Structure 1
Amino acid sequence: MSITTNFPLSEKSVEEFVRILLPTEVGKDIKGEAIYKENKIILKVEIDGKEASMEEENLESIIEDQKVIMLKGTLLKAFDKHYPWGSLIGVRPTKMTRRFLQMGFSRERVVKLLSNMYLASLEKIELLMRVIETEEKLLNKEAMNMYIGIPFCPSKCRYCSFASYEINSSLGRFYPKFVETLLEEIELVGELSKERGFIYESLYIGGGTPSVLTEEDTEKVLAAVHKHIDFSNLKEFTFEAGREDAITREKLEILKKYGVDRVSLNPQTFKEETLKSLNRTFNRKHFDEVYRDIKEIGFILNMDLILGLPGESVEDILNTLEELKKYEIDNLTIHSLAKKKGSPLYHVDFEQSEVERVIVEGAIKKLVKEKGMQPYYMYRQKNSLDWGENVGYSTLGNESRFNIEMIEENQQTMGLGGGAISKAIHKETEYIDQIERLVNPKDPALYIAEMKLRHDKKIKLFSKEIV
């Protein structure tokens, strides 16, 4: 593939765009030309004998990559491709859209821009606007959030790309030392936080599967957090229990004792054959027992589903949605499967299930309406189903601030544990932030060896002026 334009661009970005949304055109030569006319930009493209053009208001002072965005949209027009999200892939569309609104664009102007230049459907644009309306009530740049990563699981799900290692694998031998090192890191971060006056609004323990911790170690970790981290401004404390095969009532009671108010119990699908094929154990009877314990003890409850798992039909998805009606939940996160490079599925040649969008989305809308839920956060992923997005729904007042802040990259993040990412945010322009990241090692042995070194880097990371 050769890409010839009269303006600079990242060829890799365009090649990836073609690979994902125009896979049959991979390798074909592309010619693009940008023409300036008064206050407009006209973008013309030619590929494989096909031609198309797009005209848009010149917004380069605001959107520095406008011509590249227009080129991608024009490529879709050349092949008469109509995707619900248009040319939007691998981005946080709500973050981008919020920026336009912050710049003073009217709602109508933003809708027109998303429709004409990005080719997004009005249905998806409306979803964006509804999510942003909720987010704006909860975002708080003055505070921080904390993430603690536990990189162990009972088994490694084949679709998973997160920092996780099977507790019974060879790396499981590092589990005791990992816990010991994490306790030490919590103390160090507590000292740093006190010294800098950091205000934490949400705390999230994820992984991996945090509930793989023993009862004793669960208590040790939570006690350390309480001892060293100031909870006076904390608005939510989440423990992503996730898998029923790692949860006991004793663990749930320990969580409640130390102030955890939100937990996840994630079926992903209620078709047990699918879960078995993906190396995820599932016992429906125990799942229901755990559900009853969670409700009885009194947590805000989230469940996750994944659409498009290999081998699942539309009927399977609809059955899972129907089964979900049996559970009284406060949050529901629905993911579209994405084949990520870090997951074993990325290296397996399987054909993604053909999900009939209209039928499935209609069933989701009906379900969340019955449960009194509204969308409150969302994001897109590369390599997901072409219509898909990950959407979090919530009953009023039970939205996850952590989820919103992480997706919008609005707050600074203090990351502890395996694979955790710390983020420092520094103001670049009035509307654009510079985000500096520091990643803890995923590998437990490397985390143990480098924790103090990474903490020293963390001190430097947060030494600049806080936004």
Structure 2
Amino acid sequence: MKIQLEDKRYQKECIDIFTIFDLKQNLEFGECDFVIGKDYVKKDITYPFTTRLELKKILYTIFSNRFNYTNDWGILTGTKPSKILRNHTDEELKQMYLVNDENLKLLRNIEKVQSSIDFDEKNYNIYINIPFCPSRCDYCSFPTIVYKNNDRREEYLGYLLKEITEVSKSIDKYKIKTIYVGGGTPTSLDYTMLEKLLKAIEECFVSENLLEYTFEAGREDSLDFDKLKLLRKYNVTRISLNPQTFNEKALKAMGRIQNNENLIDLYTQAKDLGFVINMDFILGLLYDDVNNTRENLETLRKLQPDNITFHTLSIKNGSKYSQQYDKENFRENIAEKQMQLVKKWTSQNNYSPYYLYRQKNILNNMENIGYCKEIPSRYNIVINEELESIIGFGMTANSKIIKDGIIKYTNYKNLRDYSEKLDETIKRKVEIING
């Protein structure tokens, strides 16, 4: 589709709304009979507008008629839709953003769970990034390092521990409420490296005031019972064990090596050790249809994890998985049907939604939803709602520190820059914390 854009200030609005209907962004700008001027849109007839919100609604209506499709989130394309709840009634939100009743109810239910938890802007939360994986899944867009090709884990750990040790001197550990070790695949560290990291975290960040300590153990091929016991020894309370799907054809298509039987054995061992367990799944995968989702949910019914997070596939343009997705001409609306099934199943099995966020290039302008039985992840709420300070450690880690607003700082995104400029990173982060 082509649009004649007379005012380039509106290019983002055009792309944002068009992407709801065509994820591949086949939108061109040039001379044609579809014109967007300073205060009007002309397509067969002329539509006047005075605000960007009105422009978005006009574009949504035009594209909706063109593609014969309406979206449950209406014109909302941001990553944190919960922010729209503030200072508006549901009826106002429906009029402003065209969000449907079901999604507004979902947001209100999440708001209810979150409001039952006490947050304080003076608290700290810690994120630690371990960017290594045994192999790269084809859908992955994170700057992970496949350590089997070039093992720099020990080297990286040295830099990370230096950052933790130096910056932690400026943090009151008794104000730290959660710790989250993510990646990558943090359990891709070997046993000795893992214990070094856990000892440093214990010394620098753990106190009796800590409420939650999560360690991602996403891939079963990086985990064993000894590592699980080690995590428990150092007071980790919660792990994330992430099948993404149990469908072997879909796993193979994404280049993910997974032994489902071993994963379930590890789940049972972790449960016996007393961990709170989250499991991640992705909706919209190649070769993963609604029947496969039913099978995944039946397995979950037997396992009964404390938390389950359902992600809608977000495809990185130009990735290996994106190319395969185009080639297979996969029906994207399957993800919507899968999510409908998930919402029905979670309600029937006493899981409550407790956080929601969205991503760029997410299928069908959909969402990612975290569910809990009884215990929501405090860290996931904090990071999505920006309620308390988060201090990030390691390559690519983000910090959001609340001081008269939110001060953001991102560590360098590759190992060379992270290592060479580590002293600069430490100095700047300490200045922000102490400022």
TM-score by length of 1: 0.84
Which amino acid in 2 is paired with 1:87?
A: I
Q: Which residue of the partner structure matches residue 36 of structure 2?
A: 31
Please tell me whether residue 122 in structure 1 is matched to residue 101 in structure 2: yes
Q: Which amino acid aligns with 1:392?
A: G
Letter in 1 for 2:123: A
Deviation at 1:408, TM superposition (A): 1.0
2:385 is the counterpart of 1:401: no
Q: Which amino acid aligns with 2:133?
A: C
Q: How many residues align?
A: 421
Matched, 1:287 2:263: yes
Q: Match of 1:403, as an amino acid?
A: N
Q: How far apart, in 1, do the equivalents of 2:252 and 2:334 lie?
A: 24
Superposition deviation, residue 325 in structure 1: 1.9
Deviation at 1:160, TM superposition (A): 1.1
Question: Which of 349, 355, 362 lines up with 2:333 in the alignment?
Answer: 355
Matching of residues 246-265 of structure 1 within 5 Å? 246-265=222-241
In structure 2, relative to structure 1, the CA distance for the partners of 1:359 and 1:143 (3 Å cut) is: same
Structure 1, gaps ≥5 residues long: 35-43, 55-65, 428-432
> What displacement does 1:52 show?
4.9
Deviations 1:259-310 (A, max 9, x none): 1000011110111121122121000121121011111111001001100012
| Secondary structure of 1:192 counterpart | coil
Asked whether the equivalents of residues 313 and 354 of structure 1 are also in contact (C-alpha less than 8 Å), the reply is no
Amino acid at match of 2:139: Y
C-alpha displacement at 1:377, in angstroms? 0.1
Q: Which of the residues 161, 166, 170 maps onto 1:183?
A: 161
**Distance between the aligned counterparts of 1:130 and 1:444, measured in 2?**
41
Match of 2:58 among 74, 82, 87: 74
Tell me the alpha carbon deviations over residues 319-351 of structure 1, each in whole angstroms, 9 at most, x when there is no partner. 222332221200000000011359543455343
With the length of structure 2 as denominator, give the TM-score of the two structures. Answer: 0.89
Tell me if structure 2 keeps the 8 A contact 1:313–1:353.
Answer: no
Q: Which residue of 1 aligns with 2:245?
A: 269
Q: Which of the numbers 349, 369, 377 marks the counterpart of 2:355? A: 377
Check whether the contact 1:339–1:383 (CA below 8 A) recurs between aligned residues.
yes
Paired position in structure 1 for 2:141: 161
Task: Indicate the residue corresponding to 1:39 in structure 2.
Answer: none
Residue deviations 1:39-65 (CA, integer Å, cap 9, x gap):
xxxxx5323x255578xxxxxxxxxxx
The alpha carbon displacement at 1:356 in A equals 4.1
Letter in 2 for 1:424: I
Which residue in the other structure is 2:184 paired with? 208
2:407 counterpart (426, 436, 455): 436
**Equivalents in 1 of 2:360, 2:35: separation in Å?**
22
Aligned partner of residue 163 in structure 2, secondary structure: helix
RMSD of aligned C-alpha atoms? 2.4
User: Structure 1 residues 94 and 200, CA, compared in 2 at 3 Å: closer, same or farther?
Assistant: same
* 3-state DSSP of counterpart to 2:421: helix
Matched, 1:112 2:91: yes
**SS of equivalent to 1:269:** coil
Deviation at 1:371, TM superposition (A): 3.1
Give % identity.
33
Equivalent AA in structure 1 for residue 15 of structure 2: E
Give the gaps of 5 or more residues in structure 2: none
Match of 1:2 in 2: 4
Structure 2 counterparts to residues 442-453 of structure 1, below 5 A? 442-453=413-424
Could you say if the C-alpha distance between residues 411 and 341 of structure 1 is closer, same or farther in structure 2, counting changes exceeding 3 Å? farther
Match of 2:372, SS state, is: strand
CA contact (8 A) 2:20 2:365 kept: no
Q: Give 1:223-372 correspondences, 5 Å limit.
A: 223-341=199-317, 343-346=319-322, 349-350=326-327, 351-356=329-334, 359-372=337-350
Aligned-partner Cα distance in 1 for 2:407–2:14: 25
Question: Residues 344 and 410 from structure 1, CA distance in 2 versus in 1: closer, same or farther, beyond 3 angstroms?
Answer: farther
2:41 aligned to which of 31, 36, 45: 45
1:376, 1:45 → 2: CA distance? 39
Partner Cα distance (1:335, 1:121) in 2: 20
